[in-house]
A and B are shown apart, each in its own frame.
Chain A
Amino acid sequence: MQGASDLRLRRRTLIGAALAGLLPPAVAVPPLTRPIPSSGEALPLVGLGSWITFNVGQDLQARAQCVEVVRAFFAAGGRMIDSSPMYGSSQPTIGYALAQLGMPKALFSAEKVWTGDAARGALQIEASRAFWGVPRFDLLQVHNLLAWQQQLPALFEMKAAGRLRYVGITTSEGRRHAEIEQLMRTQPIDFVQISYNLLDREVEQRILPLAQERGIAVIVNRPFREGALLRQLAKHPIPGWAAEIDCRHWAQVALKFVVTHPAVTCAIPATSQVAHLQQNMAAARGPQPDAALRQRMARDVAAL
């Protein structure tokens, strides 16, 4: 499965590189994709997270900015938007943006269930669905493994009944990796969501290889350590090798490093600015680093 994925990535890279000189980059060149192992459905390498950035409450000005971010995301060929009941008002903000944009057909909706009470899981999912305004979610994940013993069977049941397309689990910041591994080995999940970036690379040891072995799609959260990584990197000039992979910003370096791990399906950076969104989406285009350059990227950044 992964070999086919790499082939597709390479083919897209070549096509993308060929088209890059002919077409306006943010609009016409489709982003590189990776297949979801359990179905073969292609997902762009860069999705859109909503932690903090879309939690704007009733702030109309900020809501309007979020609409523009989502508009730019779909205009750049994006598909996956990820949220959670834990993210304050992010869900209503996403629903508002989707409604403003006429519910783009490309949307791949990734949500989470986050309650310790199994009976309340269904209610929470329905409330989330109503906020988004979608008929059903593409992906539901058990947030931070909370009550997974109760929630996973319920999600598998929804999938079997055709009310859900994919099931996943999440963690962040390196927590509960032993349990994540155990569930990856024992449960028929389609997705696992983990934290991975240029500095936090523990998942390279066991979880990412296991995902390849088990045919589980990987979503990467915190590719910028909630912006802290970029603030740290911004103090340094961008290295010469960045030009080899068409990176003009550290954000693109950080994203290209993450999404070119062969086990990774997509990363979900969050932003509230259209300019940053476009930088992020550009990481899913053009030449990508090979294994040797990835090693150098990690080594050089760790040394900064």
Chain B
Amino acid sequence: MPRCASAWRATSPPCDRAAVSEWWTYTPADFLMFAPRIYWRLFEALNRGTWPAAVLAPLAGLAWLAWVQREAARPGPRAATLAAVGLALAWAASALAFLKPLLAPIHWPADHVVPWFVVQAALLLVMAAAGGLRAAPWAVQRRAGLVLLGYALLLHPLWPLLDGRPWRQAEVFGLAPDPTAIATLGVLQLLQATTPSRRWLCRAAWALPLGWCVLSAATLWTMGSAQGGAPAGAVVLALLARGRRSL
């Protein structure tokens, strides 16, 4: 069984050298400490507790997407800055409205992820403030970005309907971590940094969305949910598109 830390309690948990030495005996299922039905209902609580943000956040994302689609060199510097600010808010909201109050009580490792979400939000704000972003010129990357962004905003919330769960459990961009991470991968595909320092910022901004998607895919597959294919597919598509950006 897993070890280390729990946000739920006053005392924090342990890491044991002897126990860690048996790490190879653990499987992903050993780390799943909640029932799927409880996990899915967290999103119902999230949407209810943040209403009407559950509708407004994806609408804001769609409005941004519609705006940049009308520009010839899309997205322009203003749209890039706005996207970075919007994504920063989304990561912060995912951490403070979902990870910390809802997920961490039933899954203590989530408590350790919260600071990283806040760092991601700060990184995106620094990118927005620093400027120097413009539309990526590579067609493959742009198409992949639009696919990822469109999926995160429009299709990802439909998973409950495919699973036979209530639509109230929809995971929406701006509040739920998965569509937020996938949308971030999409936006990052659409942008290009103009200077080496900005380029490093952009590269750093890829790390957490990719890492979260891998973690989420593993969790969902361990839960027996086909939905794990969504974050996993997003990672594959994002990396493939980046690898072929010269086309």
Chain A interface (Cβ < 8 Å from any Cβ of B):
51-53, 55-59, 61-62, 85-89, 91-92, 114-117, 120, 123-124, 127-128, 131, 144-147, 172-176, 179, 226, 272
Contact = CB atoms under 8 A, between A and B. Distances in A.
Contacts of A173: 1, 25, 30
B231 to A, nearest CB: 22
Contact of A58 (B10, B19, B45, B108): B45
Contacts of B15: 116
B33 A62 contact: no
B25 A146 contact: no
13 contacts: A55-B106, A59-B41, A88-B6, A88-B8, A91-B9, A115-B11, A120-B11, A123-B10, A123-B11, A127-B10, A175-B22, A176-B18, A176-B22
A242 B11 CA distance: 46
A128 B13 CA distance: 13
Contact of B38 (A55, A116, A144): A55
B5 to A, nearest CB: 9
Contacts of A88: 6, 8, 33-34, 105-108
Contacts of A179: 18
Contacts of A91: 8-9
A62 B11 contact: no
Interface of B: 1-3, 6, 8-16, 18-19, 22, 25, 29-30, 32-35, 37-38, 41-42, 45, 102, 105-108
A52 B91 CA distance: 28
The winner among A53, A55, A127 for most chain B CB atoms within 10 A is: A55
A52 B35 contact: yes
A86 B106 contact: no
B13 A62 contact: no
A57 B38 contact: yes
Contacts of B108: 88
A124 B18 contact: no
A contact face: mostly helix, strand, loop, or mixed: loop
Contacts of A52: 32-35
Contacts of B42: 57, 59
Contact of A146 (B19, B45, B102, B105): B19
Contacts of A146: 3, 14, 16, 19
B54 to A, nearest CB: 18
A175 B2 CA distance: 12
The winner among A59, A120, A145 for most chain B CB atoms within 10 A is: A59
B25 A175 contact: yes
Given A57-B105, A114-B14, 6 more contacts: A51-B1, A52-B33, A92-B8, A176-B18, A176-B22, A179-B18
Contact of A124 (B3, B9, B30, B37): B9
B166 to A, nearest CB: 12
A15 B65 CA distance: 74
Contacts of A87: 33
Contacts of A116: 13-16
A58 B102 contact: yes
Nearest to A131: B9
6 A-B pairs with the lowest CB-CB distances in the bound complex, closest first: A116-B14, A124-B11, A57-B105, A57-B106, A115-B14, A123-B11
Contacts of A53: 35
A145 B19 contact: yes
B136 to A, nearest CB: 41
B101 to A, nearest CB: 8
Given A124-B9, A146-B14, A55 B33 contact: yes
Given A59-B41, A146-B14, A85 B106 contact: no
B98 to A, nearest CB: 12
A141 B185 CA distance: 46
A174 B22 CA distance: 11
B45 A85 contact: no
Contacts of B34: 52, 55-57, 88
Given A85-B6, A88-B105, A172-B1, A127 B33 contact: no
Nearest to A84: B1
Given A114-B14, A145-B18, A62 B8 contact: no
A115 B19 contact: no
